[in-house]
Structure 1
Amino acid sequence: MNKAPASVWRNPIHFLAFGLGSGASPWAPGTMGTVAAVPLYFLIAQLSLPFYLLVLLVSFVLGCWLCGRTSADLGVHDHSGIVWDEFVGYWLTMLALPVSLGWALAGFVLFRFFDIIKPWPIGWVDKRVHGGFGIMLDDVLAAVYAALILHSFYYFLG
């Protein structure tokens, strides 16, 4: 576990990269970051699909910069408290699914599962792709795995 630096509360870039401070949690910062992403998901889920996609794209591009800059400032590649990638990963997981507490919880569990166990190629990317893009990319891949399962369930159950 990497202790959250004081700059999280002073530097707006670090504050955002640390998921509005949620990544400063001493216990399971990635999970806490995903928890913090859920209420924001319910807000952006009200947008039309094109605007939701735009939010995802801007959040990803911004996240590459935020995470890369914060990582460089702290001198730690992918500090455990950098959780902006969890925000974007969770929002991508939930793309075009029904907006309900049940789907949100299923997305949360599946996204965290894939983000934690890192099956191929997620683990490979996590170890070999560096900088802000690398920090973001492994969570995007975890989101793709989770979204594929959720959309499969929706297709067959819906």
Structure 2
Amino acid sequence: MRMVATFFGVGLLKPAPGTWGSLAALPVAYALLLIGGFWLLAISAFAVFFLGWIATKEVTKGKKDHDPSYVVIDEVVGQWIALFPVGYGAYMMQTSVEALWPGWITAFVLFRLFDITKPWLVGRADARNDALGVMMDDVFAGFFAALGVIALAALAHLVIM
């Protein structure tokens, strides 16, 4: 379970293991989008959420720290959620995911911003001090980042048109 929680050891990288986890999520998301498109990314995020919840519960069992920095599977799930608009946009426009490269950058930056600052529901989930809270704070951060990607894409399209 430690391999899952650390996303195959990525969480052991220093400094800023959460950022490394988010970065490591990007090429995996890219591969998922190439192999099966948006729906494979969405299904994978859902499945990895539950696997990550179990792994986080297992590696933190009996420990005081409910969210050790080496647990980055939550960042992987949150980053994938932040990329949903990119994957869905490519699917709907029938274009390559590479063509939406600004969305990749925006999703990464916004996800890290929301994950670090923990506004509103992100912070409330983190305050649970349990494995579900560890996973949910990144789900909310990913959701807010996805909304930001959508809003900024809409703004960019208005300016370009």
TM range, normalised to the smaller chain?
Answer: 0.7 to 0.9
2:22 is aligned with 1:34:
yes
| Aligned residue number for residue 109 of structure 2 | 109
- Aligned residue in 1 for 2:31: 43
Structure 2 counterpart of 1:140, one-letter code: V
Residues of 2 paired with 1:95 and 1:32: CA distance? 20
Q: Aligned pair count?
A: 145
Alpha-carbon displacement from aligned partner over 1:43-99 (angstroms, at most 9, x marks no partner)? 112223333221111111111111111111655311011000000000000003142
Is residue 2:101 matched to residue 1:135?
no
Residues of 1 paired with 2:2 and 2:141: CA distance?
Answer: 23
* AA partner of residue 113 (structure 2): F
Match of 1:84 among 46, 59, 73: 73
Distance across 1 between alignment mates of 2:20 and 2:138:
15
Contact 2:103 2:153 in 1 (8 A): no
For 2:116 and 2:85, how far apart are their aligned partners in 1?
A: 24
Corresponding residue number in structure 2 for 1:120: 120
* 2:93 counterpart residue number: none
Task: Find runs of 4+ consecutive structure 1 residues off by over 6 angstroms.
Answer: none
* 8 Å Cα contact 2:41/2:80 also seen in 1: no
Q: Distance in 2 between matches of 1:50 and 1:35?
A: 21
Answer with 144-153 or 47-56: which moved more: 47-56
TM-score of the superposed pair, with normalisation by structure 2: 0.82
What is the root-mean-square deviation in Å for CA atoms of aligned residues? 1.6
Kept after mapping to 1: 8 A contact 2:33/2:40: no
* Residue 148 of structure 1: aligned partner: 147
Residue of 73, 82, 85 corresponding to 1:96: 85
Identity of aligned residues (%): 32
Q: Which has the higher helix share?
A: 2
Unaligned runs of 5+ in 1: 1-12
Q: Distance in 2 between matches of 1:25 and 1:35?
A: 12
Q: Which residue of 1 aligns with 2:52?
A: 63
Residue 103 of structure 1: how far off its partner (Å) = 2.0
